[in-house]
Amino acid sequence: MSAGRVQTPVLGWIISRYEEYKSKKRKYYLIEIENTSLDKLYIPKEMLSEKEEVVKIRKMDSVVKEIEPQPPYTTDLFLKDSSQLLNLSVEESMRIAQDLFELGLITYHRTDSTRISDQGVEIARQYYKMIFENFEEFFTPRTWGMGGAHEAIRPTRPIDAETLLDLIRSNELQVYGRFDQKHLKVYELIFNRFMASQGNKAKVEFERIRVDFRNFSKEVEVPVKIISEGFLKFYNPFKRIYSEVKEGEYKLKKVKEILKSL
């Protein structure tokens, strides 16, 4: 069917670009390097045979970096973490966030703003003051985004998830309607991300490692040591801190074949 004088060529261009994208895909094997803590790697399928293969691992250097905290949640960032960290669907995440909003525990959860109001910063200040003796050494107030009617998603009180549960159990805080462990986990996620956004930078040591396999090589940079925790006390963006990877030869283990563009 015709899509119109303008839309038809645009649609044709989109289709041709998509076909071009698909043609650039190659088959890769998702590979584990046995007896190391390294993440899985992708290696072109044509480079692998059925016989046992090995890779060489070499340390390049190490460096200490200052890591900035990430901003408080917008809706899309919240849904991404809720899926990856809590294994919740978009629908379930939004339903729970709606419940928390109606209970007055979080600000409005449909937002594309990272802005934090003065009231929000004050809530963070109160919480830092409660848990740190010299809180000024750990607290770095940030308003993040500029202007706009909405804020980022944040808690409305300086109450962490553990305290919230105690208040509910003792009937000091009454919640009406649905409230279960999933609600508590989502609240904890939002609370911790917000508090991290008001914390100091972290200092982390990274190692740069080179993986060589025939004429294929890849360099990876992995965090190996937290030197100064900073905001990581609340929210850690790293999958894990890696144990020491020793230089040498290691066996490859095929995990699965995948079609992708790299």
Q: Which of the residues are catalytic?
A: 108
Angle at 81 between CA 79 and CA 84, to 5 degrees: 110
Angstrom distance (rounded) from CA 71 to CA 68: 9
Angstrom distance (rounded) from CA 232 to CA 84: 18
Residue 159 identity (one-letter amino acid): I
CB 60 within 8 A of CB 251: no
What is the SS3 assignment for 36? coil
Angle at 58 between CA 56 and CA 60, to 5 degrees: 155
Instruction: Label residue 260 exposed, middle or buried (CB < 10 Å: 0-12, 13-18, 19+).
Output: exposed
Angstrom distance (rounded) from CA 243 to CA 201: 23
Residue 4 identity (one-letter amino acid): G
What is the SS3 assignment for 99? helix
> What are the residues whose beta carbons fall under 8 Å from the beta carbon of 17, sequence distance 6 or more?
none
